[in-house]
Amino acid sequence: MPHVHSGDAEIVYEAIGEGPPVLLLHPFPANRALWMPAAQALIDRYRLILPDLRGHGDSGVGEGPATMEKHAADLVRVLDDAGVGRAAIAGVSIGGYVFFEFWRRHRGRVAGVILCDTKAQADTPEGRAARLRAAADVMEHGTEPFIESMVPKLLGKTTLSTRPDLVDGARRMMLKMTPAGISAVQKGMAERPDSVAALRTIDVPALVVVGDEDVLSPVADAELMRQNIAGSELKVIPRAGHYAVWEQHEAVGAVVRDFLGAVKGF
């Protein structure tokens, strides 16, 4: 498995398929495996780059908070190692937060963007405080209580009631994270800047995707992004929550494939 040293962490990634490059960024607290089912709709046409973000999956966590600046720098190292100059980027949840930082610093390397179940707003003071409490609690009590508290928030009500296989698969992914990883990533997300103003600077093709049962980044957040990114489109995925890419992978894979087919010049 390819890996790169980025600052104080080793970042693991996977590259599959051939064609124009597409960087797929997973949500917290999962890993690159979350994209794999949806990626089957893309693999015959695109070269897919799937990193485990810092602190997730097989990647290292480094020292201190896993800030958006660190994640963006990690992506530069991954793209350079993979020989990719410019790519379309799809980011779910924290993957969207990382995209916004990457856009601010390296927009010339972005051919198009897909923002899935994410939001541009920074955390509220209450949300920031909750993240910091969780970062402390997981170091004291381990990962399982935190993961169990997150499952009903991350997965839609339809998935929770009808797809125990998807619930179990998501839980297994989440349990790969260490207490140190969860703590560092939560602290990094708590520090992230507001990106609403940055939306109006996005001048590449853009697609916003959201599960209609997402309670963490609901349809209203997706609509705000669509309204502020000129020329963007919004696709609402039925019967899916925050992990829509995992829960309804065929539907998401199809809309992503259709969108990428219209992105030129990369």
pLDDT at 177: 97
pTM of the model: 0.97
**1 with 14: CB under 8 angstroms?**
yes
Q: Would you place residue 264 in the very low, low, confident or very high pLDDT band (cuts 50, 70, 90)?
A: confident
Instruction: Work out the burial of residue 176: count CB atoms within 10 Å of its CB; fewer than 13 is exposed, 13-18 middle, 19 or more buried.
Output: middle
Residues 147-166 have a mean pLDDT of: 98
pLDDT at 201: 98
Q: Where are the domains of the chain?
A: 3-261
In Å, what is the CA distance from 233 to each residue of 140, 227, 248? 43, 9, 19
**244 with 237: CB under 8 angstroms?**
yes
> For 184-236, how does the pLDDT look when each residue is reduced to its tens digit (9 = 90+)?
999 999 999 999 999 999 999 999 999 999 999 999 999 999 999 999 999 99
pLDDT at 104: 98
Instruction: Answer yes or no: is pLDDT of 147 > 80.
Output: yes
Determine the topology of domain 3-261 in CATH.
Rossmann fold (3.40.50)
Angle between helices 68-81 and 179-190 (to 10 degrees): 110
